Amino acid sequence: MKTIKSYALIIAILSIAGSSFAQGTVVSYKDADASLQGYFVKAKSNKAKAPGIVIVHQWMGLSDHEKGAATKIAALGYHAFAADIYGTGNMPKTPQEAGEKAGYYRNNPTIFQSRIKAAITQIVKQGADPDNIVVMGYCFGGTGALEAARAAFPVKGVISFHGGLGKQAERKNGLIKARVLVLHGADDPFVPKADIDKFQEEMKEGKADWQMIYYSNAVHAFTDENLGSDNSKGAAYNETAAKRSWEHMKLFLQELFM
């Protein structure tokens, strides 16, 4: 409990959602009765239909971190859509609220998957090639990316940056058609070894094309520059891991879309 509370205090600063990215467009969309608001950045590409990358946010909701990633991904030649899982007006105000909201979706994977499917539909509407879609995410969003693979959505690949790997014990393992890339801090205290073992077993049973890359001296949320560099807090920025994981992501995308 102490480490969870510590992580909650550290991650609280992610609650400030940004609107300063002039390159992107705020997009309102729906999932059943839920009103959602994502952030789309058009690919810097001459292709008639560029691939699309859906980005799922961390537990405090859609923030500058995901919007910044969308801008960088668009510069690589891919349409990018930072999705909204929680819905308009439901941004957590405290880490405690974030924990409750994130826990709700993790414990209700069908609803979580539905929100991600709505984002996939939206990026296609924005012009992305429906045959070349990837879902990626950070922390809570990394879990969401894996849920897209577990749901057998029509995506070529999924990428988890320091995401949770576990799922409910009663959920059976199924065939995993999407290619899977997991980018993981070797010292992440929030992902138990038991979850890692079960995840790898799930990938093997699902006959997945998967890879899991560990970064030394990296803990949870290692891509977030706002968290400082004190690993003892459980969540901290690691410049080397952040840069290496981004390069591994780029290589993964190149292999998917070449």
pLDDT score of 20: 40
Question: Judging by DSSP bridges, how do beta strands 25-31 and 34-41 pair with one another?
Answer: antiparallel
**CA–CA gap between residue 7 and residue 99 (Å, rounded):** 11
Q: What is this structure's pTM?
A: 0.91
Nearest Cα neighbor of 22 from 71, 81, 82 is 71
Q: What is the pLDDT of residues 169-211, one digit of tens each?
A: 999 999 999 999 999 999 999 999 999 999 999 999 999 999 9
Domains of the chain: residue spans and CATH: 2-15+28-257 (3.40.50.1820)
Q: Residue 82: CB partners within 8 Å, gap ≥ 6?
A: 24, 38, 39, 40, 55, 57, 62, 66, 67, 69, 70
Helix (H) or strand (E) holding 9: helix 2-11
**pLDDT surpasses 60 at 7:** no
Q: How confident is the model at residue 10 (pLDDT cuts 50, 70, 90)?
A: very low
Length in residues, the chain:
258
Q: What is the pLDDT of residues 46-85, one digit of tens each?
A: 777 899 999 999 999 999 999 999 999 999 999 999 999 9
Q: Which of 2-6, 166-170, 174-178 bottoms out in mean pLDDT, i.e. has the lowest?
A: 2-6
Judged against a pLDDT cut of 70, whether residue 11 lies above it is answered with no
- Residues 178 and 208: their CA atoms lie apart, in Å, by 7
Give me the pLDDT at residue 175, please: 98
The enclosing H or E element of 211 equals strand 210-215
Percent of the chain with pLDDT over 70: 91
Query: C-alpha 75: how far from its chain's center?
Result: 19
Mean pLDDT calculated for residue range 156-162: 98
